[in-house]
Structure 1
């Protein structure tokens, strides 16, 4: 049958031909519907088959074909466009797009309703390209297009990700007079929101003042989808001020925003306002409120809301179980799962996943095994999602062998999701070799790893060679342009120290989201490239990407490293304007930044303003006081943290113990040591090393040794601190013995360790041992001696009275001696009364440090001991002439 007007519409299934298939059996056997007395009988209405209230709402293809055949027999098909369009809609409703396309092609003169049904039907069956082509045909033939036409094509453009097409259609709709039409504006806002261009959606919303609740719902929903939660709440407040009555869809979006922000007070107020206004709470809205309470950690309110709901389905039950899982209450989660089975509610794979997440606790292993048996019994074990959840569950409780058994039961590489979960499980247990082997096995068995598998394996490998091979795979498969896979790739390069390759991969990403920018900036900071991190941050702002808390934390760390107070203050102001100033991570970074820049008053002000402090923020403030020379304030803050019940970590304890070491208060130090033992941190290397140094400075070498023995795995710092402590107390032989024990343990010395070893030899006059270890530095460990090492050797010779040898040693040094070395020789000359050599050493030291009072005082004391008072007066006058100021001595006794 020909069209009334020429068309070139080609649907996807055009290969099947234009002939209407369903009419063939009727034409071949017409006796089925023929009646000799047909003219004497009233024509029946065939649509009663589709409209029968006793039948399910779902339209069946068989019934639709019967109606179609009846209409063909009675020649009523194209005489009544209402019936024709209804039949067309039924075909789309039952998913038979082939028959729908054929029926549409046979309509002589389709009206606007027919075209709109084609658009909406194609959208409903995911044929978005066909929907777009239908719209183009309508536009080409100059057919009348209404609000529903534009709404349908906006949906198609959104599904196809074609924002440019949507903008063109929006311009066309405005030209046709639809600027203020709510349906059209909702479609355009939805398109922009789905495409991540929420700013454009806001512009559409504010183009025309509107009292249509659908428009307000669309922009609030778009804000939530784009994680602009504060914007959603602001728009909702404005909506209420304009006396526009929200409906259940509005409340659902607003409650979701409150849940994401964990703003319990606002969400509770919204629910109260909803009840006051008489908004009916349906199943969908009730479940959204359940999710809000669960995500806010208010499970008692969630339980109350759950039992007040008149109808509860699998989604509401699963929401409750998931809420208990998020709040670490596996007992309640298992109990709700038991009750759910008792009331005979259909359980789906997501319910099982939620209860398994709740049981990922060593105390819930017994319950989890019972649930595993129930999964076997009910047949859910064949579901790939459930098996992936089991693999993940066993990995989280440390039973990686059980995870492998479940993975083997999943028929190897049959399901990509289980492969990805198994690789993630290996990554959780730092089993990089097994993760890489499984990745290789997938490639060998022609199972292409997806972005989840690729990101998991990239997150655990630390080998540049292996990383480059996976990089090649991502290029081959196109995953290198995916934002999550690309971010994992350049993060791997950053972790391996290859910043250039990391930045190259980062630049290849076409769409960089907030997370990718944050990871790149963090990579620069962690690799000591703070300047590049700040440059990258400025580039991010130029792209109009709004930073998140992770980005601000990284850039504040860069400002701390460079002591950029002005930039740090600008970032602080930005965080306040964007409601991120009260985040614990950002607050910790701000405290650290202000502390390292020497502005402790600002650091304390930020610390006091944060409502919810964590251990990192407390550690940053204590460290700031300790490093800023305010040990008393650091100790008082530590005590306040204990009183307030804040979590104390090893870093905080190390800072406080360091303050006690400087103050020399043994009583408080013993109390802190007892607190350390109570918390179980005595085996931590940082805390143990701090205790060791504290007892060393106080003078208790025995407690110093005990503190070292409590350390579970001593590192180079703790070994060096112990050697230095014994050297400081004149126990050179014991210090060297500890040095040998350190080497036997497999710990190689560094340059600081050799300073402690040479100092031990110096204090005990072990000249031969000192020269042996001095030569061993470069010979055995490749460490070039520095000024402190040469100073120790000069001190070693000077203490033994070999001043001429010390002078010869200085003149033969491969590096130019500094004031420290000459000052060391000067001190030895004072002990042994060598005035001539002392004058030489003093002259050299004063040439290098003209404003150092210690050199003048030492030389003056030597002259005074020799009775050379004229020289003493001369030195004193020289000090006054060069404006050298000697600080007066003081005593705490």
Structure 2
């Protein structure tokens, strides 16, 4: 009779558990207490399960604590309730207190830890389970393999694979799916493909996992082939599988310069449209998750018309849908449309989340609308780290490095911990400003947050110290990075080149290549720049051969650097040949070739290439005009230069800058067309720049135009009253024309204004007694540099001939009354073995 009642009550409790009938369960609990069955362990276990299922964990625990007798199922019931409620601390405490455990106990704890992202703790529990002598089940291995995949721990994953093979579970579908998922997440796609092949009957989970792994390794076509195989094999295709293959579509063809990648992008777009058709055919067009995946695919392709069409026909819209549209328009730099969707989103009652704000920030940053980006950022109550990084990137990209550094300080005060991206961006700002002390503080912050050995941050640190002329520190940081990547090698190589250590940079490039590092486009561009500065044609050709072997010969940036090398090494024919062999060119390529012609005195060729560039549809920029105007100036093509200069703003909307005016002024000055030069000086906007007037003064010296030279000198003096160059040049010009009185006037003016040719030496001498003297030890036949601001009132030894083996000490008396006179000491050989010491007046 008792067994019958227990069975009946147990069935009723099971009905309440299945239907989450909490009230009815409590009534049954009261009935059990009334009839004296509260000591029945079976019924108490069912009650614990009921309260847990209904979310009343405390009541379940109270019941568990009051049970007079507990069995392992009682412990499992309350442990499972804690695990399902994600109360891992309570679960672990209870797990430790369990008088006995079985495989179910271990599995429950491991799966809960994995589910809550505690993969390392899950592996630790698994190792303790093995030490306890428990044999893992397919549930155990599936959870542990998932933890290995999450941690990227391929060693532990392979050990689990061996265990699965040993206990004959490697062919189990559940374990097999976990294996291929683990290998995919760890980047071992070949092993994932093998694991997939070992499955006797792969299901939709298997195909979805292998497609994701192939797509992550950019084997997009193979991922599509897997989906085709899945479809032809009759495997049930659900919305998750379709979302997965749409994710594959978004990863296809992102090439910017290569024709093949554009073809891949086209094929992936076609595949995406086919998947959309299959979605409609299978009746999943109303599945919100799937339609959001479709939206995301079209948005990432930039096909916002198709995205608009899908969005307008959605039966249900979520925050994700709005975010995708905002992000899509942001990627196309259409900030107005992104803001419009944000406003529509709020009008429809949807509150923006973190992703919304990040997408809006990214949209504003990419389009250069930093003002709107700042408004959005400061409107956020508690911006997350991604938001901080987005606004930092905006400041850096717009050259507002000082604001980025100030905001980083504010971030520190708000106790927001930076990540590798934050530190790298701020380091780039410090490097751009040459802010060494600020960079050191960021370096300290990276050490505090344990990111200093991260390759991304280390690369930024190397760049910072290189740009601040601390190349030794940069090398030290490089040597301490435990696992170097190509970015660190590139940063140090660029730093060596920046510090004029081009030979060292080239040697470093060879070391990098010898260590098995595969150079990137940046590596080749940097080392080619070194070859160009060294004017080393032989080394440039060596690198060219490696570029061909490495498959970068069609890259426009590498190609442009090669043209620069050949041009600077006076191998203009090689530069021209390579230029015309390039399959695709951009503005930089054209500019380099035009500049190459200019450097080698081929003005006519430069002008012809400039016209060819226009005819090809490429739009010239400021650098293009500097290159072609330089060519015109150096080759005497004055009229051609004037025509090109006049067309800048009229035809191409390029505002002439200082460098353009300087080129055309130099061209007119070389040709002696001073009337046109003066007319241009009157109307040019950048008159208050010393470079312009220095070019004018130099031209006047060549053509002996004294009047304009005087004006140029006056302008230079007006801009910098302590600059001695215009006085010296003008005085020399008067002297060469025989106008000695004017030259004397200029010298007297220098004395009156206390302008010195070498102000640093004058400052050292100033305040010293007038009778003080200086000694200079020289060796015979060695010309000593100019001795500024010193008048030889007496000179010892005298001008008597002396043997060449004698070391000489020349003694000068300092005099403040003639600070404008310059002398040079020379040793002149008058016959074999005999020299004469002379004092030569310079100016």
Partner of 1:341: 200
Separation of aligned partners in 2, 1:781 and 1:584: 43
Separation of aligned partners in 2, 1:626 and 1:193: 57
Q: 1:611 and 1:106, CA in 2 relative to 1: closer, same or farther beyond 3 A?
A: closer
1:688 and 1:711 in contact (8 A); partners too: yes
Partner of 1:45: 3
Separation of aligned partners in 1, 2:545 and 2:29: 87
Within the candidate set 354, 375, 378, 1:483 is matched to: 354
Q: 1:400 and 1:771, CA in 2 relative to 1: closer, same or farther beyond 3 A?
A: closer
Q: 1:885 and 1:517, CA in 2 relative to 1: closer, same or farther beyond 3 A?
A: closer
Partner of 2:778: none
Shift of 1:392: 3.1
Output aligned runs, 1:518-537, within 5 Å: 518-537=389-408
Partner of 2:584: 713
Separation of aligned partners in 1, 2:87 and 2:394: 31
Q: 1:336 and 1:101, CA in 2 relative to 1: closer, same or farther beyond 3 A?
A: same
Deviation larger for 694-703 or 324-333 = 324-333
Q: 1:123 and 1:756, CA in 2 relative to 1: closer, same or farther beyond 3 A?
A: farther
Partner of 1:551: 422
Separation of aligned partners in 2, 1:282 and 1:441: 47
Separation of aligned partners in 1, 2:732 and 2:562: 38
Separation of aligned partners in 1, 2:543 and 2:719: 44
Separation of aligned partners in 2, 1:734 and 1:565: 45
Q: Deviations over 1:677-734 (max 9, x none)?
A: 2222232222222222222222222122233334443333332222222223332222
Q: Deviations over 1:636-673 (max 9, x none)?
A: 22222111122322122222211221221221122112
Q: Deviations over 1:240-293 (max 9, x none)?
A: xxxxxx9888888999999989xxxx9999988875675765555544543465
Gaps of 5+ in 2: 67-76, 98-104, 253-266, 762-783, 787-843
Q: 1:735 and 1:368, CA in 2 relative to 1: closer, same or farther beyond 3 A?
A: closer
Separation of aligned partners in 1, 2:87 and 2:527: 50
Separation of aligned partners in 2, 1:477 and 1:216: 48
Q: Is it true that 1:372 corresponds to 2:372 in the alignment?
A: no
Q: Deviations over 1:501-547 (max 9, x none)?
A: 33444445556433333333333333333344334434443443322
Q: Deviations over 1:736-761 (max 9, x none)?
A: 11111122222222333222232222
Q: Is it true that 1:320 corresponds to 2:189 in the alignment?
A: no
1:810 and 1:817 in contact (8 A); partners too: no
1:838 and 1:859 in contact (8 A); partners too: yes
- Normalized per residue, the structure richer in strand is 2
Q: Is it true that 1:307 corresponds to 2:165 in the alignment?
A: yes
TM-score between the two structures when normalised by the length of structure 2: 0.73
Q: Is it true that 1:608 corresponds to 2:464 in the alignment?
A: no
2:327 and 2:360 in contact (8 A); partners too: yes
Partner of 1:881: 756
Output aligned runs, 1:418-817, within 5 Å: 418-442=290-314, 446-451=315-320, 454-455=323-324, 458-459=327-328, 460-476=331-347, 479-509=350-380, 512-811=383-682, 813-817=684-688
1:592 and 1:621 in contact (8 A); partners too: yes
Within the candidate set 212, 216, 237, 1:357 is matched to: 212
Q: 1:282 and 1:673, CA in 2 relative to 1: closer, same or farther beyond 3 A?
A: same
Separation of aligned partners in 2, 1:766 and 1:712: 31
Shift of 1:770: 2.6
Shift of 1:327: 4.9
Q: Deviations over 1:292-311 (max 9, x none)?
A: 65523446545424323464
Q: 1:315 and 1:412, CA in 2 relative to 1: closer, same or farther beyond 3 A?
A: closer
How many residues end up aligned between the 2 structures? Answer: 715
- Normalized per residue, the structure richer in helix is 1
Q: 1:743 and 1:302, CA in 2 relative to 1: closer, same or farther beyond 3 A?
A: farther
Q: 1:479 and 1:317, CA in 2 relative to 1: closer, same or farther beyond 3 A?
A: farther
Gaps of 5+ in 1: 1-42, 50-66, 69-85, 139-143, 150-182, 195-200, 206-211, 219-245
Output aligned runs, 1:141-290, within 5 Å: 214=93, 281=136, 283-290=138-145
Partner of 2:17: 93
2:48 and 2:64 in contact (8 A); partners too: no
Shift of 1:467: 0.9
2:451 and 2:457 in contact (8 A); partners too: yes
Secondary structure class of the residue paired with 2:544: helix
Shift of 1:90: 3.1
Separation of aligned partners in 2, 1:98 and 1:216: 27
Q: 1:377 and 1:473, CA in 2 relative to 1: closer, same or farther beyond 3 A?
A: farther
TM-score between the two structures when normalised by the length of structure 1: 0.69
Q: CA RMSD in A?
A: 4.6
Separation of aligned partners in 2, 1:405 and 1:91: 46
Shift of 1:193: 8.3
